[in-house]
Amino acid sequence: MANIFDFSAVLINNERISLKKYMGKVILIVNTASRCGFTHQYEGLQKLYDKYSDKGLIILGFPCNQFMNQEPEVESNIKQFCENVYHITFPLFQKINVNGRDTHPLYKYLKEEAPGPLGIRRIFWNFTQFLVDRDGKVIQRFQPITEPINLSKRIEELL
């Protein structure tokens, strides 16, 4: 695979889309969870989206239940929670695995292109963020402790 546009994923409403839909955009890909200590980052992600979406940023949220059962809900409940509590308007996808033998192919690719600390490819926790440029190249991985607002400068450089 040459870039992320070679992948597809299923939106939370059950529609399969090609990530080619996002060609020409700066993309922030995040594995999310509704019952995590970092769940408040939904607010920051939405603020980034509100600020930069008109300039070419898209945020893609991928719920994941692999970290202490922090996303146990079905997709309809996840969507409702995100919309009602955090007013999320960026695309959310169906729950996926980001580690292990059933890792979603997109996340296999992201982890290869941007390993974590010490070159470890595993995702350590919810709200790990991957920044992708307009050409589909993975630029950088950010650990969950990185608040979305702290990505503003890096996003602006790519827009």
Q: What angle do CA 141, 64, 103 make, to 5 degrees?
A: 70
Read off φ and ψ for residue 38, nearest 5 degrees. Answer: -100, 5
Where do the DSSP E strands lie in the chain?
8-10, 16-18, 26-32, 57-63, 129-132, 138-142
How many degrees, rounded to 5, is the angle at CA 107 between CA 78 and CA 76? 15
Q: Which domain holds residue 21?
A: 4-158
Burial 43-68 (b: 16+ CB within 10 A, else e): bbbbebbeebeeeebbbbbbbbbbbe
pLDDT at 121: 86
Reply yes or no on whether 82 is catalytic: no
pLDDT classification of 1: cutoffs 50, 70, 90:
low
Q: What is the CATH number of the domain that holds 37?
A: 3.40.30.10
User: Rounded to an integer, what distance in angstroms lies between the CA atom of residue 159 and that of residue 95?
Assistant: 28
Q: Is 27 helix (H, G, I), strand (E, B) or coil?
A: strand
Q: Is 26 helix (H, G, I), strand (E, B) or coil?
A: strand
In angstroms, the CA 142 to CA 10 distance is: 24
pLDDT value at residue 2: 75
List 12, 28, 30, 36, catalytic entry? 36
Q: Which H or E run includes 155? A: helix 152-158
Structural domain tally of the chain? 1
pLDDT given for residue 75 in this prediction: 93
Mean pLDDT in residue range 117-131: 91
Q: Is the pLDDT of residue 118 over 90?
A: no
For residue range 68-97, list pLDDT tens digits in order: 999 999 999 999 999 999 999 999 999 999
Predicted TM-score (pTM) of this structure: 0.95
